[in-house]
Amino acid sequence: MTGKADFPKANPVKAGLSGACPSCGQGKLFNGFLSLKPACAVCGQRFDFADSGDGPAVFVIMIVGFIVVGLVLAVELTYQPPIWVHMVLWLPLTVVLAAGALRPLKGLMIALQFQNNAKEGELDD
């Protein structure tokens, strides 16, 4: 296993959006679609610190919702199609956009969590 000092600090945005290790930027972060690998195969950085929670899903809802609702309103006000046209257009588009955005945003949240050394909040006794 190579030491972390051998790798320059990875750009968190580039590493996160590409699904790369937030430490070295070379290894893979994901094992499957959304599950994380236990550690980076290149630098050995463990990913047990990573807990993105619902953050990526919230951003996906906000971004995809803004895009789809804007398009729905534009089409409705311009063409006034029947409801089945809306269903055929917007349901698949919503699913594709959400699935396409979820993994990069989860990677970005984890990379930023790593860069900022974010931890779970604690209360002082």
Q: Domain locations in the chain?
A: 4-115
> CB neighbours (10 Å) of residue 102?
17
Place of tokens 């679609």: 33
Q: What is the pLDDT of residue 67?
A: 98
What does the pLDDT look like over 29-72, one tens digit per residue? Answer: 999 999 999 999 999 999 999 988 899 999 999 999 999 999 99
With 70 as the cut, is the pLDDT of residue 5 above it? no
What does the pLDDT look like over 80-96, one tens digit per residue? Answer: 999 999 999 999 999 99
Closest CA to 23 of 37, 38, 7, 35: 7
> CB neighbours (10 Å) of residue 12?
20
The chain-wide mean pLDDT, for the chain, equals 92
Q: Does the global pTM surpass 0.85? A: yes
